[in-house]
């Protein structure tokens, strides 16, 4: 895997995140040397799901009000319909995503999380994939949706679902490795 030593990665999640879409990327990022922070719209813990069953709780490192996009080199958004649907309407999430995109920073987004990109007004003209049930939402927002396990488009990598995690994690680490760490800038 590519070296991510010295890089800070933000993961934005709330209750209802798809467990493997948060825990597996965290594992891959840490194995590659990244510092990973779980960020949420509230302090404490966020509770995951395994599709329709309760999953693990994850400690929140920082709330959205405590961090700035400039604090991070890269961003990962896990899926889970409830997670993405709740976060897409949070103004701080939309602002965070817009700032990341404006700076050209890399983002790795899986499953239902592209909804957050739609609500931030970022998908028009982009090629991406997602969980199949939101493809109409992406197309209606101006994206070119494709049914592939992983899609890299500029500073984004997207995937459809938990079964795509090996390809997603591989491409996420490669994409994040291309950007110099903040400490090297």
For the chain, domain boundaries? 8-180
Whether residue 16 contacts residue 82, with contact meaning beta carbons closer than 8 Å, is answered with yes
Q: How many helices (H) and strands (E) does the chain have?
A: 6, 12
Question: Which residues are marked as active site?
Answer: 112
> Whose structure tokens read 């609500």?
119
For residue 139, give Cα distances in angstroms to 115, 127, 148: 11, 10, 15
> Whose structure tokens read 């949420």?
40
DSSP, collapsed to helix, strand or coil, labels residue 165 as helix
pLDDT(132) > 90: yes
Written as six digits, the tokens of 124 are 């028009």
0.75 cut: is pTM over it? yes
Which CATH code of 3.40.630.30, 3.40.1160.10, 3.40.50.1820, 3.40.50.880 fits the domain covering 8-180?
3.40.50.880
51 confidence band (pLDDT: 50, 70, 90)? confident
Under 8 Å CB-to-CB from 130, ≥6 apart: which residues?
A: 109, 110, 111, 112, 113, 114, 138, 145, 158, 160
Task: Give residue 185's pLDDT.
Answer: 47
Give the whole-angstrom CA distance, residue 66 versus residue 121. Answer: 24
Tell me the pLDDT tens digit for each residue of 105-121. 999 999 999 999 999 99
């Amino acid at each position: 895997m590519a070296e991510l030593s010295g890089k800070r990665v933000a993961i934005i999640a709330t209750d209802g995140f798809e467990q493997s879409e948060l825990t597996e990327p965290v594992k891959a990022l840490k194995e590659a040397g990244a510092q990973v922070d779980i960020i949420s719209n509230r302090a404490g813990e966020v509770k995951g799901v395994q599709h329709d069953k309760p999953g693990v709780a994850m400690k929140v490192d920082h709330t959205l009000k405590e961090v700035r996009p400039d604090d991070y080199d890269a961003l990962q958004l896990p899926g889970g319909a409830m997670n993405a649907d709740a976060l897409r309407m949070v103004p701080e999430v939309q602002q965070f995503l817009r700032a990341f995109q404006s700076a050209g920073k890399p983002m790795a987004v899986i499953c239902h999380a592209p909804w957050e990109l739609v609500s931030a007004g970022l998908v028009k003209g982009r090629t991406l994939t997602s969980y199949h049930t939101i493809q109409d939402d992406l197309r209606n927002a101006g994206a070119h949706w494709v049914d592939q396990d992983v899609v890299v488009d500029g500073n984004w990598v997207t995937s459809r679902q938990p079964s795509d995690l090996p390809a997603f994690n591989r491409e996420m680490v490669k994409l994040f490795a291309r950007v110099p760490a903040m400490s090297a800038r």
